[in-house]
Every structure is written in C-alpha cells, then in structure tokens.
C-alpha cells in the first residue's frame, strides 16, 4: 500500500498535509495539448463509471521516469462524487494513452510497470493500413492505398480508378474529414474536387491535373498524405453513408462492441464534421436488403470484421483496448475499411456510455489481474 501525496504547488514543492490512502488501483490517463478534448473526455469517463475509483490525468512531460512519479490532475470518485486536486503520485498501476507518444518512452514505462499501458500504439493512417493489409482476410476489405511522395504517385491511381481520396496521414491533424480531398477524373482530363471548408462541402472544378497539382501540392507535400481508391457507398437521400464501429476491451479483458452506428453525410462525397443523420445500423440494413439481392446478416458481418481487426492488433502484440473503426458498404454489398482510429472520440448520444467507461473497466481488470492488492 502506498500513500497519495496531494500537493497545492508542484513539481518539487510537495505539501504533505493532505494524505489519503490508496483504496483502488490508480489509473493514469495520458493526454496532450494537441488533443486537449481528451482531457474533458477523461473526466466524462470517470463520471459515467458507476464505481469508486481514482484517475490521474497527466501530460507525458509530467511523468518522471527516473523518480517514478507523475504530476497531474487527480480525480477521486467516492459515493458518486468526484473530487479534484493537482498532485504528485507514484507511477499509476495502469496507463491509458490518449495522445501521440514516442514508442521508446512507452517501452521505458513498460519496464517499470509491466504491460500495463494500453492503446500503446498510436499509429498514423499509413501505418494502420500497412498493418491491416498484412492480414489476408482484411486485405480484401481495404481500398488500395499508397503514400504520396511525388506527383506521379497521385497520377497513377487517378488514371486507374478515376476517383480517389487524398488523406492526411497524421492522426493528430487529420480527423472528421479534415484535410481530405476527393478527386474525380472527368472527360478530357478535367477534375472535380470535393473538400470540406468553412462549414460546407465544396465542389471545385479544375481544367487539368497540372492546375490542381500546382494549387494543392504545397499543402499535400507539407502534410504527409496517402492516396486511396474511392469507394461508392450506398446512399440515403442521395447522400453517402458510412459506419462507425467502436470496440473496447471490457472488465473481462475481452473485446466487445460499444457503438455501432450508420452515418449519413450532408453531401454525395464523404462524411465530414457535420452529418445529415446518424442512425441505428438498422437503417443501413433495410437499405441493403432493398437494394442488394443477396440478403445477409449485415450487423454480424460488420461486427465480425471489427473482431478480425482487433484480433490482428492482439496477435501482433500491440496492447490496444479502444479502437474506432470507419467502414462503408458499396453498392454490391462489400464491406470496406476506411480507417481504424487508435484515438477514437466517443459519440455523446443517449445509451452510448460504454465507449466512455469501458477503458476504465479494462484498466481495473488489468490492475486486478496483475495482483493489485490494497
């Protein structure tokens, strides 16, 4: 048993007046200033978790590997009430990563606390694609994808598919359709380009690839990009759809579905910040049953694909327990994987608390399994 030392001023000026004793495992949630929204999400996680527990929300700069301490916001939940203090604590029993982190540092922390860091691999879109493409079942569900380094890297897929997506690789920069361009090749080399700007989906026409490239290449090459074959997903009200599947490990250490939703875009290109509609997966099932001859158990097929993805991470030795997956179904009923997100933002909808509190359940499972003993 160790004592929590709450401090008013930090880092070295420890005030030991307020002492409390550890009753539950300490869960650390590592956040950063580049994704500040995960700080408030961490608080919501504790609010939606029904039992007493203590979390420390900290930035990686405030973890001192030499002294085995961490400085952060300590939130203690007791009898439904949450108290908050800033303080210095010993390293948490379990750490949940909610920011970009250097894998070398993850390794160093694992040497101290064991394999108790989860979502320990915050990958970019290219790393994610390469990793999943190594699995022969998943490969069939992945749109062909390349990294863009030069003009030719874009020209070739554009000429063969006539319709491509350009996506920023960086998981911090790119999300909710930010920085994405859908480029369609028209007659006589003209292009139609769709991108989200100032609250709407823009459609811009270019007379040639050269004109498009001269306008966009600086931005495309400054941010690293991938190019991907476009998939025409089934439409609702002439608007494209996709699927959000959020999976988490639970209090038994097993993957389970937290959220499964169908999203309808505001437009006929792709999903971005705003949605026309968010619906139960039944909406998509009804649509598929009416449009596609081969009736199937769609929900089961989607969830099975999710399990297959989670199992690949487990098999390769990554310690993941919180994954957001964006899928789509094309006009032939084939399921496609657009993205797997290691920093998924939970949907704040009624009856969708699981995506918030499962990571805490899993953290407690890990701590107790490893022999936490107060």
Ligand X SMILES: Nc1ncnc2c1ncn2[C@@H]1O[C@H](COP(=O)(O)OP(=O)(O)O)[C@@H](O)[C@H]1O
Which of 25-33, 129-137, 171-179, 297-305 is the region at the interface with ligand X (rule: CB under 6 A)?
A: 171-179
Q: How far is CA 164 from CA 142, 168, 229, 349, 355, in A?
A: 14, 13, 5, 32, 32
* Contact characters 280-319, ligand X, x per CB under 6 A: ----------------------------------------
Binding residue for Mg ion, selected from 151, 163, 274, 326, defined by CB under 5 A: 326
> For residue 237, what are the contacts with CB-CB under 8 A and spacing of at least 6?
264, 276
Establish if 365 lies at the interface with ligand X (CB under 6 A).
Answer: no
Candidate residues 126, 165, 195, 196; the one interacting with ligand X per rule CB under 6 A:
165
Query: Min. distance of Cβ 196 from ligand X in angstroms?
Result: 9
- Considering only 93, 242, 285, 361, the residue that binds ligand X (CB under 6 A) is 242
Q: What distance separates the 2 farthest-apart alpha carbons in the chain?
A: 77
- Using CB under 6 A as the binding rule, whether residue 174 contacts ligand X is answered as yes
170 makes contact with Mg ion (CB under 5 A): no
CB under 6 A: which stretch of 228-236, 253-261, 300-308, 365-373 binds ligand X?
228-236
**Contact of residue 165 among Mg ion, ligand X, none (CB under 5-8 Å per partner type):** ligand X
Contact call for residue 217 and ligand X (CB under 6 A): no
**Residue 334: C-alpha distances to residues 135, 143, 280, 358 (Å):** 17, 11, 19, 30
CA distance 154 to 161: 11
174 binds, options ligand X, Mg ion, none, Cβ within 5 to 8 A by partner type: ligand X
Does position 73 bind Mg ion by CB under 5 A?
no
Distance in Å, CB of 182 to ligand X, minimum: 7
Q: Would you count residue 169 as binding ligand X (CB under 6 A)?
A: no
**Residue 330 binds Mg ion (CB under 5 A):** no
Which of 39, 45, 239, 270 touches ligand X by CB under 6 A?
270
- With CB under 5 to 8 Å by kind, the binding choice for 357 among Mg ion, ligand X, none is none
The residue within the footprint of Mg ion, chosen from 119, 339, 343, 363 (CB under 5 A), is 339
* Shortest Å, Cβ 160 to Mg ion: 24
| 338 part of the interface to ligand X, by CB under 6 A | yes
Does 239 bind ligand X (CB under 6 A)? Our answer is: no
Distance spanning both ends of the chain, measured CA to CA = 6
Min. distance of Cβ 51 from ligand X in angstroms? 33
Minimum distance of ligand X from residue 272's CB (angstroms): 7
Query: Taking a C-beta distance cutoff of 8 angstroms, is the pair 326, 339 a contact?
Result: yes
Cβ at position 363, least distance to ligand X in Å: 26
**Residue ranges binding ligand X (CB under 6 A):** 143, 165, 167, 174-178, 180, 228-231, 242, 270-271, 326, 328, 338-339
């Amino acid at each position: 048993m160790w004592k929590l030392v709450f401090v008013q001023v930090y880092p070295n000026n420890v005030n030991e007046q307020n002492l409390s004793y550890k009753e539950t495992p300490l869960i650390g949630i590592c956040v950063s200033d580049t994704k500040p929204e995960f700080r408030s999400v961490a608080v919501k996680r504790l609010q939606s978790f029904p039992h007493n527990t203590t979390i420390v929300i900290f930035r990686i700069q405030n973890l001192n590997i030499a002294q085995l301490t961490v400085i952060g916001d300590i939130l203690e939940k007791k009898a439904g009430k949450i108290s908050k203090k800033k303080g210095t604590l010993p390293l948490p029993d379990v750490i949940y990563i909610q920011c970009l982190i250097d894998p070398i540092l993850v390794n160093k922390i694992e040497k101290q606390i064991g394999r108790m860091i989860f979502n320990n691999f915050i990958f970019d879109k290219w790393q994610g694609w390469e990793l999943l493409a190594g699995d022969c079942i998943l490969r069939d569900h992945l749109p062909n994808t390349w990294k863009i380094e030069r003009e030719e890297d874009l020209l070739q897929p554009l000429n063969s598919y006539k319709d491509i997506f350009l996506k920023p690789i960086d998981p911090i920069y790119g999300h909710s359709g930010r920085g994405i361009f859908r480029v369609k090749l028209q007659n006589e080399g003209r292009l139609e380009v769709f991108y989200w700007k100032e609250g709407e989906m823009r459609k811009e026409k270019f007379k040639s690839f050269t004109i498009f490239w001269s306008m966009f290449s600086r931005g495309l090459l400054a941010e690293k990009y991938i190019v991907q074959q476009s998939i025409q997903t089934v439409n609702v009200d002439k608007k494209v759809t996709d699927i959000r599947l959020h999976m988490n490990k639970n209090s038994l250490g097993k993957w389970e579905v937290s959220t499964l939703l169908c999203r309808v875009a505001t437009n006929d290109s792709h999903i971005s910040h705003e949605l026309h509609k968010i619906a139960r997966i039944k909406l998509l099932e009804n649509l598929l049953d009416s449009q596609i001859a081969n009736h199937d158990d769609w929900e089961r097929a989607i969830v099975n694909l999710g399990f297959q993805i989670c199992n690949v991470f487990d098999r390769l030795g990554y310690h993941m327990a919180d994954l957001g997956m964006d899928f789509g179904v094309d006009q032939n009923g084939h399921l496609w994987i657009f993205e797997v997100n290691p920093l998924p933002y939970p949907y704040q909808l009624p009856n969708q608390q699981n995506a918030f509190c499962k990571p805490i359940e899993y953290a407690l499972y890990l701590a107790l399994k490893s022999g936490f003993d107060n």
